[in-house]
Structure 1
Amino acid sequence: MLYMEISTWEPESRDLILEHFKEIKMPAGIKVHNQWVDLTGGRYFILYECDDAEALATFNLPWSDVCYIETVPVMGSTDFMSLMSKRN
């Protein structure tokens, strides 16, 4: 499944976030498609595939002490339209 994840943090957590980024390692089971950093600060976006709940938890839990993580299952709009047209 494809996920868009948005991580946000408070300005005072910036240094902790930078330290976490230096240590980041993707666990097996997560395939990253792309990553973006909000140039105005305080947000990070990542698009990845994952079908393994353990890999998802392994990736997210180390960040839970320094930021808020919103994980949203997503699908490309072309694929979504194709899926919806099959339903009718």
Structure 2
Amino acid sequence: MLYMEISSWEPENRDKILEHFKELKVPAGINIVNQWVDLTGGRYFILYECDDAEAFAAFNLPWSDVCYIDCVPVMKSTDFISVMSRKS
């Protein structure tokens, strides 16, 4: 399954965020598709695949002390249209 995450943090946590990025280890079961940083600061966007709840937790829990994570399951719009067409 694909997930789009938007992580945001308070300006005073910037240095902690940078340290987390330096130590980032992506666990087995997480396949990062792409990632972006908000050039105005304070937000990070990542699109990844994951079908393993343990990998999902291992990837996200280490960040819970320095930022807010908004995670949404997503799919390509063409795939969504195909799925919904089969339901009709």
Give the TM interval when normalised to the shorter protein. Answer: over 0.9
% identity of equivalent residues: 80
Runs of 4+ in 1 over 6 A off after TM superposition: none
Q: Does 1:61 align with 2:61?
A: yes
Query: 2:68 is aligned with what amino acid?
Result: Y
Mapping of residues 1-80 of structure 1, within 5 Å: 1-80=1-80
Structure 1: gaps of 5 or more residues: none
Q: How many residues align?
A: 88
Cα RMSD (Å): 0.4
SS state at 2:65 partner: coil
What do the CA deviations read for 1:8-59 (whole angstroms, capped 9, x no partner)?
0000000000000000010000000000000000000000000000000001
Q: TM-score, normalised by structure 2?
A: 0.99
Q: TM-score, normalised by structure 1?
A: 0.99
CA distance in 2, matches of 1:34, 1:25: 15
Structure 2: gaps of 5 or more residues: none
